[in-house]
Amino acid sequence: MNFCRNTIGVLAGLAVAALIITLGIKIDSTWVTYKQFAPFDHWEALLRSVQHKDSFFIALLFFGGLGVTFGGVVTAIIVKYAKVAYAILIGFIMLFIAMLDIIIYPYHPVFYKISIFLIFFPFSWIGGKITEVIYERRKKREKQLQLKNKKPQV
């Protein structure tokens, strides 16, 4: 049962991260010029057209960090144990996808290639820690309420 729950958690976290990144790069309408939603069919043309626009890659890094943070939170909420580890797994998978993107399409600037290592792991870890801290506070509060409601026996 935990295997299914963990798999669903990872897939949900990846979906949230991908959705945030996809919506993030659609903010500036001059970047995405194609009409239909088929980002993989047009990705090379898009990268070629924004090759010398650093603002696109800065936005991609920002929304990548935001995406893996929220993806890590979603994953950590769904999985039962090792919340931070599974959140970091989201960062690792997204880093792997970004590295494949860099290898397949050579249109990325050098600062982007270096920065993805500094973005994906720390921000996914932060997403897992946010959830872990919230759960620990909730447990502590519940424990205090149980002690408070417990009547002394005479």
Cα(106)–Cα(3) distance, integer angstroms: 37
Please write the tens of the pLDDT for every residue from 59-112.
889 999 999 999 999 999 999 888 999 999 999 999 999 999 899 888 888 899
Angle between helices 110-149 and 83-104 (to 10 degrees): 170
Which SS3 state, helix, strand or coil, does residue 28 take? Answer: coil
Cα(18)–Cα(40) distance, integer angstroms: 13
**Dihedral of the alpha carbons of 45, 27, 33, 55, in degrees to the nearest 10:** -50
Please write the tens of the pLDDT for every residue from 108-140.
888 998 999 999 989 999 999 999 999 999 999
**Residue 20: which pLDDT band, with cuts at 50, 70 and 90?**
very high
DSSP secondary structure of 54-93: HHHHHHHHHHHHHHHHHHHHHHHHH-SS-HHHHHHHHHHH
Cα(111)–Cα(124) distance, integer angstroms: 20
Q: What pLDDT does 44 receive?
A: 73
Q: What pLDDT does 154 receive?
A: 57
